[in-house]
Amino acid sequence: MTREERFDGYLHFIMSAMGGFLGAYAVMSEAERLASAQTANLLDMMIHLAGGDILRLAAGFGTLVCFVGGLVSSDLIERHTKLCLKKLALWVDAAGLLLTMGLLAAPLDITPIIKVYPIFFMAAFQWNGYGGAWGFASSSLFSTNNLKQCVIGFTEYFITGDAAMLKRGKFYLFTLLSFLAGAFYGACCVNRWGVAAAIPGLLIPACARVVLGRR
């Protein structure tokens, strides 16, 4: 494994921790919603549509707009500019965390999920910048497929003895553990400092920036 591949792995694991932190921070806020994915929000939109709750449906649609905006803008930047998407994603994460903290702390009489809109955007932006390493595609935001790939990798290794499957299992296991570590850190920070937990959360992209600079 080359130096660049090793550092790509380090970056992916650090940003998976960021994904876990964002998940805990959003779920433990008054929004009570995982703001780094869309499955639950799309389902929630259909429930509000069926119930005729247009205001909450519109608020849910806003999460989709933010998430798609993060995907589209990051893709356009990567394809049509010379900016380093990995570096830019760290700044977007930092700015998004601070903006979310401001919205959660402000006495705004709005649907709670609107206050975590920045997380939907920054999470999608991060996904394009950090979507895998070591030749494996992997989300740094949520864990279902990472768990699947981890189990399959180790299962295939125990059956066949294929070293490539062992590498696959290890990569996805490290990704899962990093995500869970970030979620635990986020939960501890929120329990201690409430919405101000965004401040210690900035340590994660700061660590990624240091690693990126040495890559």
pLDDT at 1 over 80: no
| CATH assignment, 3-214 | 1.20.1250
The count of residues in the chain is: 215
Name residues whose C-beta falls within 8 Å of residue 51's C-beta, 6 or more positions apart in sequence: none
**180 contacts: CB under 8 Å, gap ≥ 6:** 20
DSSP bridge partners of 133: 136
Output the pLDDT for position 204. 97
The position carrying tokens 């809109």 is 117
Predicted confidence (pLDDT) per residue in 136-191, tens digit = 999 999 889 999 999 999 999 999 999 999 999 999 999 999 999 999 999 999 99
Bridge partners, 132 (sequence order):
137
User: What tens digit of pLDDT does each residue of 27-44 get?
Assistant: 999 878 787 778 888 998
Instruction: Write out pLDDT tens, residues 176-186.
Output: 999 999 999 99
Q: Are the CB atoms for 115 and 108 separated by under 8 Å?
A: yes
Domain boundaries, the chain: 3-214
Q: Report how far residue 21's alpha carbon sits from residue 199's, in angstroms, rounded to the nearest whole number.
A: 12
